[in-house]
Structure 1
């Protein structure tokens, strides 16, 4: 898989052997879904995002990659948090990115899961199911 960022267009282009996924930074800060489908060449990625709806800019009509809650987009949010002042209105904006060469190393961690309705079992308890989890190591 390859990842390309076209700074002049504000476009991320993710390519696999047979498919492409394109994200466009609208107004430089709002990641929007522009394309997903059969693989396309880089020279064809400009202008893929189709603007619909109102003549003026609106987050409600933008196909956001990760929409927040209460900031003009009235669809189901991808996340909702409550800030220290009690508000739940958030608007995530793109700041920067880094593309890594290759795949990050995964760190494997074992942890126990308590069986429902049991007392807190110790690590060697037969009632504790052992699970394995992988975490991406990113600095």
Structure 2
């Protein structure tokens, strides 16, 4: 989701939207012969920490995941975490010609989330001195 190699002007803020991120998956691994939903719960727990959590997360989701204009791709969205339109399109760089995948559906479904406050070290020092 971090378009590091882009040369577009929209990404000049790239260093302002950094997060520390970790995740862990749950559920069984999908067997290679299964091609349809088998009804088993699978997923990923994700945690991101940022100095400006709301601003950073909103930027990442709005600009890099769901707005292809940040990469000069119009209305295209990220193929894994973007919320796809009915005609989901993804352009993949390739040499000598790009590859286009059409008809993508939304792959990732968010079931919940929270914004939590973690005080800075100086704030913890101030609290401990009270």
TM-score category of the 2 structures, normalised to the smaller one: under 0.3
Q: Which structure carries more relative contact order (alpha carbon 8 Å, separation 6+)?
A: 2
* Structure with more of its chain in helix, by fraction: 2
* Structure with more of its chain in strand, by fraction: 1
TM superposition score normalised by structure 1:
0.22
